[in-house]
Structure 1
Amino acid sequence: MEKNQATGLILISILLIAYFWFFADAPGPVVDETNDQTEQVESPESRDTSTLGNNDGSRAENLESDSLINESLKSKYGVFASAANGTSELITFNTDVIEITFDKKGGIISQLELKNFETYDGQPLVLAEESLDQQQLIVNAAVGAVDLYELNYELVEKPNSILKAGDTSRVVFKADFGNGRSIEQIYTLSGSHYEVGYELALNGFQNEIIGENFTLIWNKKMRKFEKDLTESRRKATINYYSVEDGMDYLSESADTDEEILTEPIQWFSFKQNFFNSALITDIPMQRAHAKVSQEGLSDEFVKDGEMKVEIALSEVKDKKGEFKFYYGPNNYKILQTVAADFEENIYLGWFPISLVNKYVIINVFHVLEKYISNYGIIIIILVFLIKLALSPLSYKSYVSMAKTKVLKPQLDEIKEKHGGDMQKAQAEQMQLYQKVGVNPLSGCIPLLLQMPILFAMFYFFPSSIELRQEAFLWANDLSTYDSIATLPFTIPFYGNHVSLFTILMTLSTLLITWSQGQVSSVQGPMKNIQYIMPVVFMFVLNSFAAALSFYYFVANIITYGQQALIRKMIDEDKIKQILEENKKKNVNKKTSKFQQRLQEAMKASEEAKKNKSKKSK
């Protein structure tokens, strides 16, 4: 309503009040009740008309107010104004795995709770909240940018409030603007899945929407769900996938990271250690801007995530553009069914470690999980199986060390013979190895072949949601550190707690190091350095998953048993006799090409050292 119209309406109201006040009939004469018992009936004309006048004024003011509101909505929302005036109204549905609440204001997911999970302190695990998941769906109209999630929608189709496994139903929101124009938002719920189907259609709009694209903005505050805030922040980021470049991500370790993505993407996720919230579609999402930050956040949150993408308007104009949300756990088997490379939301290490985890460890772990409910026992069995599979390599490595120990007196004689001339000493040692039939690298190769499996566990256990909140012995949660004592201070690189599994792992590693030293030829400073590394790992692993430390502890105990058994099987005197016989047989054997190249490399290295020493003088 314009200002002049409002002023005119107010003046008319004042004139009506004045008219009824001044030109109304005078009241009738007062009758003496003692002389005349006849009741005086008041004529309609004699009523006080000031009340009537005030009512008309109030009604006029309300009309004026409504008219002003309507004009304001039209100026802001244009053709969408008829759906802009409304209030929140929540509708909740339950499936086997989620409780989801929609808001008719916006036609959006207002809240989503994972029913089979809790936070570390026993609270409901709410993965989506309207106050923390701020979403905007922006189109360009004649009046400017309009957020379609600010409009009010009617619920035109809804399923039963409870969906069981196997059930699939739709929740349909619609805003009708007349002349065949409408907006539809359709959600598809499944009784046993964490995916929520989403379809968007803008029907009948011709020139009311301007441009070729619409914009989707999703700002998410990621709540803390786990006990360890530092680890939770280290694992939180935004992942995204493009057909050309595959899966990529923003930095997990940086306080703030952002990126402008030039290639279209097909999904993005706000990924935390054990859960993620994602949007997936076959429709290319273009000109994406991704950002994560942890600056200025309270301990209640791990990171802020911001995602902005543009989508072609033609994909939803007069047809249903298909999307889906994923709100659920980072379970490898589940994520494999969601979208291309969606399981990469779980980082299982670099190649070839990731291959070991994907095709060996995960499958064995899930087979054991079907028959055994105690995850501590599963880990013990897993160690036995892996050690059994690696036992041939362990045996070869141990025999190689035993051979080296038998040769140690002869190797020491060669060193004394040549004094400080390392080049000649190493050349003669290589000749000795060749004659007795010993490959000095044969002890290292089996260990190198075992390394991918050893390191695979380093990534597998901290990322396994199956271990989350699973107790074993004194550990309340195998997916995070076990703490038997909290320190009143913080030790750098160690923390303010004591993990008993980590201490046991360290002690058992020292035991293994000592046991291997009994058959090793390593002497001097290198022998002492062996005992430093387990202590270093005690600091590194103190805040890692208890399952990881427990695995290494059990593995060390079994390894010690293996070595004790192999030691009984190996006769060092017999090995010495075999080596001597080989030495006699190969006395005239020529140096192999490999050993020649090795000797040449050592010679070149020694000459380089001498030249460097001369230049420094």
Structure 2
Amino acid sequence: MDRNQAIGLVLIAGILIVYSLVFRPPSPEEAIVSGADTTAVVTPEENQQLVDNTQAETTQPANQDSLLNSKYGAFASAMSGNEETFTVETEKAKYNFSTKGGAIKSVELKEYKTHLKEPLILFDESSNSQQLQIGTTNGIVDLASLNYKANKGTLSISEGDSTTIAFVATLADGSSVEQSYTIFNDKYDLDYSIKLNGLENKVLTNDMTIVWEDNMKRFEHNLEDARNKTTVRYYTLEEDSDNLKEIANDPQSETVGEGVKWASFSQKFFNAGIIADKGFSSATFATIPVADSSHVEIGKMELIVPMSDLYSGADFTYYFGPNSYKVLKKVTDGYEDNVYMGYKLVSWVNKLIIVPLFSFLEQHIANYGVIIIIIVLIIKLALFPLSRKSYLSMAKMKVLKPELDALKEKTGGDMQAQQQEQMKLYREMGVNPISGCVPLLLQMPFLFAMFFFFPNSIELRGESFLWAHDLSTYDVLINLPFTIPFYGSHVSGFTLLMTLSTLAITWSNNQVSSVQGPMKNIGYFMPVIFMFVLNSYSAGLSFYYFVSNLVTFGQQTLIRRFVDEDKIREQLMENKKKAGTKGKSKFQQRLEDAMKASQEAQRQKQNKKKK
């Protein structure tokens, strides 16, 4: 190496040393302090991992699209997307919608609260699911799983107005699924329609199946009563209303092959239902008991809709609201059957008399206890002629008691002879022994009608009176530290008062009754039995019966003051004198002929036994 080469190497070494000192990269600590960028050192293994991840990210969308296409075919393009939710609010409800499925996800009824004073959400995603199943070349597709674009309309509706929410799921080839909801400010029902555009060649089945399942929430204090009045109810195109068995410990199911107009998940005071303008071609319903105390029952329905309706546009109505008879009556034919008004023999009393009267009174009176009292007074006043006739009949039988006792001794225990003599006495005295029963029978429909009206009247829900906090359920005067079988762990004050007043009326009636022996005391057992039965029933019902008893007692006292038993006896004796000049009536003749035929049949039977 010559001198020049040595000098060159020294200069190069110096430059490298200076460069390394001046331009060296900072340590991690220095980078954090100064905020400078750091350059990571990647090992060969880490570099390979980065390459694999990059390739996976590149191929994942392609693989996902391939999977969607193989599973959903023409509907694959509408299976992905971002979900958006929004709320439409009216004066009666809040409806929560989602673009995922283009469906209602939850409904809150603003005018009502649960028994815990919480917002009453009739259903939500955690308790409710609905599918719209159609058969395609790629299998079953649920239209409620598509992603839709929403035309939201007006989200807050003013008084008297309505708004329409439209959802459209457009497929890759331009065909589409349209759903729309028209929501009214002053109604609990909303119009719903669904239409398939350009999908005729992609759908293989002739029907769409609406699969709706609702794990119905608990809203009432009395869980057992709520479960006993929860079911799936439906109404056929033949105008026949029916439902699955309400009080059942086992799952219930039923298939209806004929057309169905509407179906609902019906609870004691609320229901969620769907009505088809053209009807469902068939349906299957089911209920399943639940042990969870926060729910009352699981309801399921499968409703069949012809695809031909969907291609032209199928129209439906949803109802989410209270079981108010006057409200449901306006929804559609038979929908008021969600409020049970009793058997046909007594339901007419509620539908034609009590409901209109109750509605009129609540428009002018705010206190429902006072309304019940007024209803009692009106009914008792209207039925007073029947009550008076019944009491007079009992008074006549009391006047005849000495003669009846004499006949009993005369016949010596021969029942047939005694009955024959009694009928002769009744004919001579002009007394009809069943005339006192007829007025009571005519009053019975009103008595039983109340047994169904008050427990099912949502108007009483949450309304307090005296010590009762809620007239729609039982009142609690005393909480017991133990449970009495068939009675409960509480004492209902109104039921107790009803029992005591009924016992007083029974005693009063026995004072003018001709009935003797054990039959006379049976009347004292019935009020006690009803005390056990009604202890957990509606406080409004027990209060009605209590007030009714007080008015009845007052009526009997008033009638007794104007009834002179001596005059009644004089009238009966006068009738006996005139009886000799009168022939038997056709009814009396038929009655005597029937008694003689009965006596003859018994004699022949006894003769055969002797032989």
The two structures share one fold, judged by TM-score above 0.5: yes
TM-score norm. by structure 2 comes to: 0.91
Alignment of 1:235-314 (within 5 A): 235-255=229-249, 256-294=251-289, 296-314=290-308
Deviations 1:143-191 (A, max 9, x none): 1001111111111x11232112211111111111143301111011111
Q: Corresponding residue for 1:97? A: 92
In 2: Cα distance, 1:480 partner to 1:601 partner: 50
Cα 1:172–1:414 change in 2 (3 A) is: same
Distance 2:566 2:295 in 1: 65
Matched, 1:224 2:218: yes
Q: In the alignment, what sits opposite 1:147?
A: 142
SS of 1:284's equivalent? strand
Matched, 1:114 2:97: no
What residue in structure 2 maps to residue 444 of structure 1?
437
Task: In structure 2, give the amino acid aligned to 1:335.
Answer: L
CA distance in 1, matches of 2:270, 2:86: 24
- Aligned partner of 1:463 in structure 2 is 456
- Distance in 2, matches of 1:320 and 1:143, equals 24
1:193 aligns with 2:187: yes
Change (3 A) 1:612 1:218: farther
Q: Is the 8 A contact 1:164 1:192 kept in 2?
A: no
Mark the CA change 1:610 to 1:72 in structure 2 (over 3 Å): closer, same or farther.
farther
The change in CA–CA distance for 1:446 and 1:55 in structure 2 (over 3 A counts) is same
In structure 2, the partner of 1:483 is 476
Q: 1:79 aligns with which of 74, 77, 86?
A: 74
**In the TM superposition, what is the alpha-carbon distance from 1:39 to its structure 2 partner?**
9.1
Q: Which letter maps to 1:302? A: V
Tell me the distance in 1 between the aligned counterparts of 2:607 and 2:468.
60
Shift of 1:435: 1.5
**Structure 2 vs 1, CA of residues 609 and 275 (structure 1 numbering), >3 Å: closer, same or farther?**
farther
State the Cα distance separating 1:597 from its structure 2 match.
2.3
Letter in 2 for 1:521: S
The answer on 1:527 being equivalent to 2:520 is yes
What SS does structure 2 have at the residue aligned with 1:564? helix
Residue matched to 1:133? 128
- Correspondence 1:555 to 2:548: yes
Residue 38 of structure 1 and its aligned partner are, at CA, apart by: 12
Does the 8 Å CA contact 2:77/2:172 hold for their aligned counterparts? Answer: no
Instruction: Confirm or deny: 8 A CA contact 2:123 2:217 kept in the other structure.
Output: no
> Which letter maps to 2:178?
E
Q: C-alpha distance in 2, partners of 1:439/1:195? A: 56
Q: Distance in 2 between matches of 1:122 and 1:175?
A: 39
SS where residue 289 of structure 1 aligns?
strand
The alpha carbon displacement at 1:30 in A equals 8.7
Instruction: Give the corresponding residue for 1:44.
Output: none
1:600 alignment partner, SS class: helix
* Aligned position for 2:15: 32
Distance 1:608 1:451 in 2: 35
Any gaps of 5 or more consecutive residues in structure 2? 1-11, 25-39
Aligned-residue Cα RMSD (Å) equals: 2.3
Partner of residue 337, structure 2: 344
Query: Contact 2:74/2:172 (CA < 8 Å) preserved in 1?
Result: no
8 Å Cα contact 1:435-1:589 kept in structure 2: no
For structure 1, the residue ranges without an aligned partner over 5 or more in a row are: 1-28, 42-46
Q: Which amino acid aligns with 1:237?
A: T
Secondary structure of 1:218's match? Answer: strand
**Distance apart, 1:235 and its partner CA:** 0.4
Displacement after TM superposition at 1:422 (Å):
1.4
> CA-to-partner distance for each residue in 1:38-95, whole Å, 9 max, x for gaps?
9999xxxxx9998998766533211212222111111221111111113432111110
Q: Deviations over 1:504-562 (max 9, x none)?
A: 00000000011111111111111011111111111111111000000000000010010
Within-5 A mapping of 1:214-613? 214-255=208-249, 256-294=251-289, 296-317=290-311, 319-606=312-599
Looking at structure 2, the residues matched to 530 and 616 of structure 1 have their Cα atoms a distance apart, in angstroms, of 38
Distance 1:32 1:477, change over 3 A: same
Given that 1:237 and 1:271 are in contact with CA atoms closer than 8 Å, whether structure 2 keeps it comes out as yes
Can you list the C-alpha shifts for 1:214-246, whole angstroms capped at 9, x where unaligned? 111001111111111111111001111112251
Query: Could you tell which deviates more after superposition, 579-588 or 82-91?
Result: 82-91
Cα pair 1:115 1:125 within 8 Å, conserved: yes
d(CA) in 2 for partners of 1:502, 1:536:
11
Counterpart CA distance in 2 for 1:377 and 1:154 is 53
Q: Name the TM-score, length of structure 1 as normaliser.
A: 0.90
Counterpart Cα distance in 1 of 2:477 and 2:128: 37
Letter in 2 for 1:82: S
Query: In 2, are the aligned partners of 1:431 and 1:591 still within 8 Å (CA)?
Result: no
Q: Matched residue pairs, number?
A: 582
Which sits farther off after the overlay, 472-481 or 128-137? 128-137
Instruction: Return the alpha-carbon distance in structure 2 between the equivalents of residues 224 and 305 of structure 1.
Output: 13
CA distance 1:209–1:607, shift in 2 (3 Å): same
Q: CA deviation at 1:606?
A: 4.9
Aligned partners of 1:36, 1:382: CA distance in 2, in Å?
Answer: 106
Relative distance call for 1:31 and 1:462 in structure 2 (3 A) is farther
**1:36 and 1:365 mapped to 2: Cα distance?**
100
